[in-house]
Structure formats: C-alpha cells, structure tokens
Amino acid sequence: ELSRLMLALKSNLNKQDTIPVMVFDEVDTGIGGKIAEVVGSKLKKIAAEKQVFCITHLPQIAGKAISHFVVFKTVKEKRTYSSIRELSEQERVEEIARMSGGKKITEATLSHAKEMIQP
C-alpha cells in the first residue's frame, strides 16, 4: 500500500521533485489486470523525467519499461548468490511471455508479450 501511495504522490509532484532517481519495490503487490496497466502507465510517465527502478512481477508493468533486468539466484558450495543482468530485446519478450503465461512459453504468449512492449 505504501508503494502505491508513494507512486500517487510522486506522479503528481514529479515536476517539483529534484530527486533524479526513484525506486519502487513491488508496487504491484495485490493488484492485477487493469490497475496494473494504470500503475505501469504512471511509472512510464515518471520515467520520462526521472530514472525509475521498479521491481515488479507483473508483465503489464514490465512491458512499459525501456530496459528490463532480471534478478536470479544461483547456489555454489551451499551458498546462495543473487545476480542481475540486462535482457536483450528477444530475452525481454520471452521474460514478459513467461511472466504472463507461466513456465510454458507459446506463440500466443510471445505474441501477447510483443504487444505489451509496444509503446
């Protein structure tokens, strides 16, 4: 709830705020569908003026981004490591398809992912 409240405040005060970077951590918790589309559009509007980092699990929000990074974990010698890397355009389509359709990526989920990425 706090993330969405901050999103609402920041989207209204964006021009007056001198902070160049904004971070939104799981602003999508408890939402989906149409509301996620609205949240994604608000984040995109803020990103036109500021650097925005948004941690999300929803394809409706991820599809609005210019760049897409994925965080993944690996285990080595009983230790867990978190890593991050930027996705290529094709990997981005595949990741958004996975986010929207589960583990099995089909032509339909790929097509839908491509539509979500369009400006």
Average pLDDT, rounded, for the chain: 87
Residue 88 lies in a domain: no
Residue 110 lies in a domain: no
Q: What is the domain count for the chain? A: 1
* pLDDT reported for residue 59: 93
Residue 34 lies in a domain: yes
Answer yes or no: are the C-beta atoms of 58 and 96 closer than 8 Å.
no
Residue 45 lies in a domain: yes
Residue 99 lies in a domain: no
Over residues 12-61, the pLDDT tens digits come to 666 667 778 888 888 888 888 888 888 899 899 889 888 999 999 999 99
Residue 92 lies in a domain: no
H helical segments located in the chain: 2-13, 33-47, 59-62, 89-101, 107-117
User: pLDDT category, 82, cuts 50, 70, 90?
Assistant: very high
* pLDDT reported for residue 26: 85
* pLDDT reported for residue 119: 67
